[in-house]
Amino acid sequence: MKFFQVKTVEETFSLIDEMINPLTETETKPLYEALHYILAENIKVKENVPAFRRSSVDGYAVKAKDTFGSSESMPGFLTVAGEVKMGEQPERALADGEAIYVPTGGMLPETSDAVIMIEHCEDLSGLLNLYRQVAPGENVISIGEDLKEGEQLLTAGMKLRSQELGALASQGITEVTVYRKPVIGYLSTGDEIVPIETKELAIGQVRDMNGITIGSLVSEWGCEFIYGGIIEDSREELERQAKEMLEKVDCLILSGGSSVGTKDYSVEVIDSLGAPGVFVHGVSIKPGKPTILASANDKPIIGLPGHPASAIVIFHLFGKAILHKLQGWIREEKNLARAIVTKNLPSTPGRSDYIRARLFFEDNQWYAEPIIGKSSLISTLVKSEGLIEIPSRSEGVLKGDLVSVRLFG
């Protein structure tokens, strides 16, 4: 078996965008169950928030002009004309020369246009001493300043976090239309792979740690995971179980069997599952060159390297992009940080390198310490918080350079 023409990382992302289509099925979820789903509809603001002018601080509602010239050396004076309690309307409008106490979030009386913080004044038996002046609008939240009626509140393709759910709740919305979660199937391949429950390993055996690591990432990224178990090195058995699993899921992941070898027939099996078949077999990347990406009847198939660290790196890069595309999640990559690298890292031009790294903060600066180790070493990932990216056009980075770090999570 020979590799197809090896793709660059950039070409691979472009092909994912071109070849993978989002799911279109939607469902209605109560707000309390909608966390981390992808919104399937545009939602506009129905009600102004706030619906009334309110104070952003504990203080006294005033007419700003009545405070002009006030200072600690020459205080101004106003008459305290009562207070506004939370959830209640002021009894009357504010007259010239008056101040009314208002708690944070309290409704402002008519004709007031500012609030002086309680720290900047002093109530002496109904006479309010002002130790600074305030400007019109200071410490005031206007009607619709937070959310304005008719404006766009949320856009289809957004992931619903706690803050989005809160914004919906502010509008009295109790349920929302979302895309259903993709179902992701997983199969491990290899005679040497045994279940993680195996108490004692025979010589040459390894437990199926990829099933746990990949499965947990699938769940973390908002999809449902089906573990299909371990398949021995048999083309017929792999083809049978892959076809069976593909019927149940929206995306199939195969771990192992993606490199060039006498028993590695994953590409042939994947191509047999449906059109258009394999569109990436080999990526110019380290680790993870023998990566397979395919589509069978509009269902993505991901062939991961068997080595655990390589599998996680590849899945963080391309698996995440595929799952997000399936979910209909419109987003930019934001899990990137900038840090100073602590060691020289050579690289081969034309190949993208992803180096595991530990991050630490020292002297008001973030640093990235490379964790060097072979692609089969899971311990290097346990010690890492992210991956230093060395682009294909680079010959490496020098100690002290500012580098991009793709954060795990």
pLDDT tens by residue, 14-64: 999 999 999 999 999 999 999 999 999 999 999 999 999 999 999 999 999
Q: Where in the chain is the domain with CATH 2.40.340.10?
A: 336-407
Is 265 in contact with 224 (CB distance < 8 Å)?
A: no
Q: Where in the chain is the domain with CATH 2.170.190.11?
A: 54-141
- For the chain, give the mean pLDDT: 92
Whether 375 has a pLDDT exceeding 70, the answer reads no
Superfamily of domain 9-25+181-327: MoaB/Mog-like domain (3.40.980.10)
Whether 243 has a pLDDT exceeding 80, the answer reads yes
C-alpha distance from residue 291 to each of 32, 93, 250, 283, 388 (Å): 39, 71, 19, 6, 20
Residue 262: pLDDT band (50, 70, 90) is very low
Whether 149 has a pLDDT exceeding 90, the answer reads yes
**Higher pLDDT pick, 206 / 117:** 117
Per CATH, the number for 54-141 is 2.170.190.11
Task: Take residue 92 and report the two structure tokens written for it.
Answer: 């009357």
Whether 90 has a pLDDT exceeding 60, the answer reads yes
How far apart are alpha carbons 169 and 303 in whole angstroms?
42
Omega within 30 of 0 (cis) for the link into 290: no
Whether 266 has a pLDDT exceeding 70, the answer reads yes
Average pLDDT over residues 114-129: 97
The confidence score (pLDDT) of residue 265 equals: 80
Q: Which of 75-79, 296-300, 348-352, 365-369 has the lowest mean pLDDT?
A: 348-352
Fold of 336-407: Beta-clip (2.40.340)
Whether 1 has a pLDDT exceeding 50, the answer reads no
The confidence score (pLDDT) of residue 263 equals: 53
Is 255 in contact with 311 (CB distance < 8 Å)?
A: yes
Give the strands of the sheet with 26-30, arranged side by side: 26-30, 175-179, 38-39
The confidence score (pLDDT) of residue 229 equals: 94
Average pLDDT over residues 285-294: 92
Q: Please give the share of the chain, as a percent, with pLDDT higher than 90.
A: 83
The confidence score (pLDDT) of residue 221 equals: 93
The confidence score (pLDDT) of residue 73 equals: 96
Average pLDDT over residues 327-342: 84
Whether 112 has a pLDDT exceeding 80, the answer reads yes
Whether 332 has a pLDDT exceeding 70, the answer reads no
Average pLDDT over residues 290-312: 93
Is 253 in contact with 304 (CB distance < 8 Å)?
A: yes
Task: Take residue 123 and report the two structure tokens written for it.
Answer: 């109530």
How far apart are alpha carbons 396 and 352 in whole angstroms?
10
Q: Where in the chain is the domain with CATH 3.90.105.10?
A: 26-49+145-179
CATH architecture of 26-49+145-179: Alpha-Beta Complex (3.90)
What would the pLDDT profile of 184-241 be if each residue is shown by its tens digit? 999 999 889 999 999 999 999 999 999 999 999 999 999 999 999 999 888 899 999 9
Is 70 in contact with 212 (CB distance < 8 Å)?
A: no
Q: Which of 14-28, 136-150, 263-277 has the lowest mean pLDDT?
A: 263-277
The confidence score (pLDDT) of residue 336 equals: 83
**Higher pLDDT pick, 2 / 90:** 90
Is pTM beyond 0.75? Reply is yes
Neighbouring residues of 401: CB distance < 8 A, sequence distance ≥ 6: 340, 341
The confidence score (pLDDT) of residue 381 equals: 84
